[in-house]
A and B are shown apart, each in its own frame.
Chain A
C-alpha cells in the first residue's frame, strides 16, 4: 500500500521565482492538506483540499495557492518566492472531512530559496 508521496524531495529556487510541489495521497484517501515546517518549528497549516475545492486556509498570503485533481492528487504553488519561504513542505492525506480521521504525512519537499 503506497503511502503519501511527494515530489520533488529537494528544490533550490531563486528569490522571485515560482515553484510547484506535488503530492499523491495514500491509497483510498480523498483529502489533502499542506503544511510548512521551518527549521526547529512545528508544521504550520497552509490549506486543505477536498472534492477539488479549498476547504480551509491557514494564515498564509495569496502567494500560496493550490489545486486538487480528480484523482485526489494535489499541487502547492508558491509565487514570488521570498527567502523566508525556505522550509520543509509537508503533505498530509486523510479520508473525508471527519475529525475522527487519522492524518498521514509524506516525506516532504525541502525548498531552499536563495
Chain B
C-alpha cells in the first residue's frame, strides 16, 4: 500500500527566506505527483503537477522536483512571503490503472513578516 509522508509537519520561517518542503512515498511505481496549497478551512489549489517522465516543474517562485528512484519529491519556495502561509500537500497517483490520489498529511508553513 502506498504511503505518502511529509516532513516537517510544521515550519516557521522569516519573510524572504528560501525553503524546501519534503515529500516521500513508499512505492516508487507512482505515475504523477501533484503539489497543492490549502488555506485554513478551504479547498485545495493545484500548484504543480510533475508527470512520470519529468524530473521537475517550475511556476514563478515555486520549483518541484521528483526522484522516483529514491521515493522523494521536494517543493522549493524562493523568497518566501507572508501570503505563502498555508498548508502544503503532496499527492501521488499510486500506480498505472489506479485513479486515486494518495495524499500526505501536509506541511503547515508560517512565514513571519
Instruction: State whether A102 and B102 are in contact (beta carbons under 8 Å apart), knowing that A42-B4, A42-B89, A110-B41 are contacts in the complex.
Output: no
Interface size on B, residues (CB 8 A): 27
Could you show 25 A-B contacts with beta carbons less than 8 Å apart? A4-B43, A31-B99, A33-B99, A33-B101, A42-B4, A42-B103, A42-B105, A43-B44, A44-B103, A45-B100, A56-B98, A56-B100, A90-B44, A92-B44, A97-B99, A99-B31, A99-B99, A100-B52, A102-B46, A102-B49, A103-B91, A104-B46, A105-B45, A107-B42, A108-B42
Query: How far, in Å, is A62 (CB) from chain B's closest CB?
Result: 18
Within 8 A of A (CB), among B34-68: 34, 36, 41-46, 49, 51-52
A86 CB, nearest partner CB in chain B, Å: 14
Q: Tell me if A40 is interfacial: C-beta within 8 Å of chain B.
A: yes
- For the complex, count residues of A whose C-beta is within 8 A of B: 29
Whether, in the assembled complex, A63 has its beta carbon less than 8 Å from a beta carbon of chain B, the answer is no
A48 within 8 A of B: yes
Give me the interface of A with B, judged by CB distance under 8 Å: 4, 6, 31, 33, 35, 40-45, 48, 55-56, 58, 88, 90, 92, 97, 99-100, 102-108, 110
- Complex partner residue of B43 from A31, A40, A106, CB under 8 angstroms: A106
Q: How far is A99 from B45 in the complex, measured between Cα atoms in Å?
A: 19
A42 to B4, CA, bound (A): 10
* 3 closest Cβ pairs, A-B complex: A42-B103, A45-B100, A105-B44
Q: Verify A41–B99 contact, CB threshold 8 A.
A: no
